[in-house]
Amino acid sequence: MMIGTEVYKSHRKAFFGKEISARYNNTFGVSERYKPTSNFLEWVEGSNIILDGNHFTFHHHEYLREPYNDPHPRQVEIKATQLGLTTKAGLRSIHGAITGRYPRGILYLFPSKTDVTEFSKGRINLLIGENPDSIGKWIKDTDTSNLKQIGSSILYFRGMKSRVGLKSVPVDFIVFDELDEAPQKAVDMALQRMAHSEIKEWLKLSNPTLPDYGIDKAFQETDQQYWLLQCPACGHYTCLEDTFPACLVELSDGRVIRGCEKCKAELNPSIGKWAAKRSQIEEIRGRHYSQLMSHFVDMKELLHDFRTTQNLTDFYNLRIGMAWVEATHRISLEAVYALCDLFGMAEKDGGPSSMGVDQGKDLHVVIGKAQPGRAGKIVHLGVYKDWEKLESLMKDFNVYRCVIDGMPEIEKARSFAKKFPGKVYLNFYNEHQKGTYKWNDGDLTVSCNRTESLDASHAQILGAAGDLTGSSKVVLPRKSDMIEEFAVHLHNVAKRLEEDEETGSKRYVYVKLGPDHFRHAFNYECMARGTFANTLFPEFLT
């Protein structure tokens, strides 16, 4: 767990330079470029909006005032739970429809149809019912759960898992709610709905999951605003999220308070200001919301949860609003470099060797062999354009078995395989397969369960559970540019728990966070090596 903390923090530190910290306390301010042009804030304050039986107020929600007054057309909200942001998104949509700000319509997206229906029938209908004068009178059709006509505008509710739902409507404003649970490829498709709009506004909001994924990835491209609390004693501004858990101070009377970074005086979450870490970025606004800024969360309980939880991932994702991955679920660059030995990359080897090839724009190749006392030895890494090169590598390294990605060039892969009968197999991942890989000599294919096979090669970098000597790991050539690229590709895949919407069952899935060609080439090489690495006399293989 601690390694996970280190990995995550070092990843974030890139944005937290000394110059930036100094600016927290001096020049942070609201960007001047996007002056409020709508009166959303005035409307909310002036309409006596009722929320769950109570009058809408910024009292004890002071951090929401500026966001309610921010008409920036592109906004990202990375958030913990229970901070009022889905309500804000719903109210902004309704207000935009009533005032005609979005004449073509508004698209409110959730990951699935079920989420949409719950939101529309629950939250939105409650808002309409509780506010007959300010909202209800504008609603022309309240009967359908996936569409509401408000004033002269239409508010569409759709699930992002449905391609059909995304194709049908042109709009001016899109809300992506719970972005991390939605298929990420659908984001661009949804944005196409605004191709003909002159307004083109969007709002992305979500609890984060993995670093560099979904809302965290989107937030990295923004000005990255945090709610800083001002110290009543010394005037210093503290960013609670940056200084957690040190920002929580345990008093002798048992209370736990938010403490000033400098003098430890108690901070009041109502007294603060939004400040950007990257104020030079004006194109996209980003805000981070954590439960540390909430009057309704007991800091003693939060700290206790942090110290005792068995699930730090949920703690960081849902309470601090931070992306998080356990160290065992993502390979770090350091873990890869730690496997490097002193030998250089080989251009030839007597073998017998195992080869893995990932095909995409280029051919990424990993070649290895058996190694006494270790899972194996990687002798060659390469990126090639020509399929003929694969044939010469087969000979130069005396490759006993090669596994190549079956897609996208299936015919080229097949004709390559036919030239080396019994040695080259096309891989196809199959989510439903369990257990050992299925080698099929008839059609020159091998099929495997994607998660299980990636687990197996993952363990050859990080080590299998209980392995104290490192015998379950591979050994790599000495560090080079190629090894660095290999390490980055291995780092660009992380494991996360996903829930099947229909069955509710959960399973681990490896998610792509960036270019990952070498990750799959290495996986294929491991599959190939697994067929002979434990052979007693590999030199007799032909």
Backbone angles phi, psi at 94, to 5 degrees: -65, -45
Give the DSSP letter of residue 315: I
Q: What is the Cα–Cα distance from 281 to 247, expressed in whole angstroms?
A: 28
Residue 243 in tokens: 């200084």
User: Which residue stretch of 126-134, 265-273, 466-474, 492-500 sits at the interface with Zn ion (rule: CB under 5 A)?
Assistant: 265-273
Count Cα atoms within 13 angstroms, Cβ side, for 206. Answer: 24
Whose structure tokens read 């229906």? Answer: 117
User: Which residue stretch of 28-36, 175-183, 254-262, 454-462 sits at the interface with Zn ion (rule: CB under 5 A)?
Assistant: 254-262
Determine which residue in the list 174, 260, 393, 513 makes contact with Zn ion, applying CB under 5 A: 260
Whether the CA torsion 49, 54, 58, 62 is positive or negative: it is negative
Positions in 183-242 near Zn ion (CB under 5 A)? 231, 233-234, 236
Q: Which is nearer to Zn ion, 89 or 231 (CB)?
A: 231
Q: What is the largest CA-CA distance in the chain?
A: 86
Q: Which is nearer to Zn ion, 261 or 525 (CB)?
A: 261
Residue 192 in tokens: 């196409």
Determine which residue in the list 263, 271, 338, 410 makes contact with Zn ion, applying CB under 5 A: 263
CB of 224 to Zn ion, least distance (A): 23
Q: Output the 3-class SS for 490-538.
A: HHCEEEEEEECCCCCCEEEEEEECCCCHHHHHHHHHHHHHCCCCCCCCH
Q: Which is nearer to Zn ion, 17 or 235 (CB)?
A: 235
CB of 18 to Zn ion, least distance (A): 19
Backbone angles phi, psi at 244, to 5 degrees: -65, 140
CB of 247 to Zn ion, least distance (A): 12
Residue 491 in tokens: 């780092």
Q: Which is nearer to Zn ion, 233 or 338 (CB)?
A: 233
List the one residue out of 218, 263, 246 whose CA is nearest residue 78.
Answer: 218
| Residue type, position 8, single letter | Y
Q: What is the Cα–Cα distance from 261 to 247, expressed in whole angstroms?
A: 7
CB of 158 to Zn ion, least distance (A): 48
CB atoms within 10 A of CB 415: 11
Determine which residue in the list 262, 278, 423, 450 makes contact with Zn ion, applying CB under 5 A: 262
User: Which residue stretch of 94-102, 103-111, 255-263, 391-399 sits at the interface with Zn ion (rule: CB under 5 A)?
Assistant: 255-263
For residue 341, with 0-12 CB atoms within 10 Å meaning exposed, 13-18 middle and 19 or more buried, which class applies?
Answer: middle
CB of 62 to Zn ion, least distance (A): 19
Count Cα atoms within 13 angstroms, Cβ side, for 427. Answer: 26
Q: What is the Cα–Cα distance from 31 to 225, expressed in whole angstroms?
A: 11
| Residue type, position 492, single letter | N
* Size of interface with Zn ion, in residues (CB under 5 A): 8
Q: Which is nearer to Zn ion, 12 or 262 (CB)?
A: 262
3-state secondary structure at position 215? helix
Q: Which is nearer to Zn ion, 29 or 232 (CB)?
A: 232
Q: Which is nearer to Zn ion, 299 or 375 (CB)?
A: 299
CB of 154 to Zn ion, least distance (A): 51
User: Which residue stretch of 113-121, 156-164, 260-268, 336-344 sits at the interface with Zn ion (rule: CB under 5 A)?
Assistant: 260-268
Residue 53 in tokens: 């039986």
Residue 290-329 contact track with Zn ion, rule CB under 5 A, x = bound: ----------------------------------------
Backbone angles phi, psi at 438, to 5 degrees: -105, 105
CB of 60 to Zn ion, least distance (A): 22
CB of 259 to Zn ion, least distance (A): 8
3-state secondary structure at position 403? strand
CB of 232 to Zn ion, least distance (A): 8
Positions in 396-425 near Zn ion (CB under 5 A)? none
CB of 257 to Zn ion, least distance (A): 12
Q: Which is nearer to Zn ion, 136 or 232 (CB)?
A: 232
Q: What is the Cα–Cα distance from 517 to 10, expressed in whole angstroms?
A: 25
Q: Which is nearer to Zn ion, 124 or 248 (CB)?
A: 248
Q: Which is nearer to Zn ion, 249 or 482 (CB)?
A: 249
CB of 235 to Zn ion, least distance (A): 7
CB of 13 to Zn ion, least distance (A): 23
Kindly report whether the peptide bond that precedes residue 132 is cis, defined as omega within 30 degrees of 0: no
Give, in order, the Cα–Cα distances in Å from 87 to each of 64, 497, 518.
Answer: 11, 27, 43
List the one residue out of 75, 321, 65, 15 whose CA is nearest residue 222.
Answer: 75
Q: Which is nearer to Zn ion, 263 or 497 (CB)?
A: 263
Q: Which is nearer to Zn ion, 65 or 236 (CB)?
A: 236
Q: Which is nearer to Zn ion, 47 or 230 (CB)?
A: 230
Residue 143-182 contact track with Zn ion, rule CB under 5 A, x = bound: ----------------------------------------
CB atoms within 10 A of CB 388: 10
Q: Is 271 in the site for Zn ion (CB under 5 A)?
A: no
Q: What is the Cα–Cα distance from 210 to 207, expressed in whole angstroms?
A: 10
CB of 260 to Zn ion, least distance (A): 3
Determine which residue in the list 265, 303, 327, 541 makes contact with Zn ion, applying CB under 5 A: 265
Judged by the rule CB under 5 A, the positions of this chain that interact with Zn ion are 231, 233-234, 236, 260, 262-263, 265
